[in-house]
Amino acid sequence: MKLKKAGVVVMGLLEIRNKAFSNAQELLNKQPESVSLLEKTEKGWRMEVEVLERKAIPDKFDLLSVFELNLDSAGNILSFKQIRKIIRGDVQR
């Protein structure tokens, strides 16, 4: 839901997530699977997404990369970096 605040369009969380997901897929050449963090910052938004790196059998052993995305207030990616790798079934995330 877009809100207007002092003449500026403010995007909602779902819109930010959807736009960032689409841009991240294009940038990383991989489909983000989930969002583990989405928070407002002074300059826009910070988001962490999990991306499948290596499929395993069973799925609980899939290798995922977690990327931090820094977004502007419209959800455009300003920068990104890989911050860790995790195993899907690891309960100590």
Q: How many angstroms separate the Cα of 40 from the Cα of each of 17, 64, 68, 90?
A: 12, 24, 13, 28
**72 domain residue, yes or no:** yes
**92 domain residue, yes or no:** no
Whether 2 shows a pLDDT value over 90: the answer reads: no
pLDDT digits (tens, 9 = 90+) for 60-82: 999 999 999 999 988 899 999 99
User: What's the structural domain count of the chain?
Assistant: 1
8 Å CB contact between 15 and 3: no
Q: Is the four-CA dihedral 9, 47, 51, 25 of positive or negative sign?
A: positive
**Structural domain boundaries, residue 28:** 3-87
CATH code of the domain in which 79 resides:
3.10.450
**74 domain residue, yes or no:** yes
pLDDT digits (tens, 9 = 90+) for 23-34: 998 988 998 999
**93 domain residue, yes or no:** no
> And the tokens for 39?
């928070």
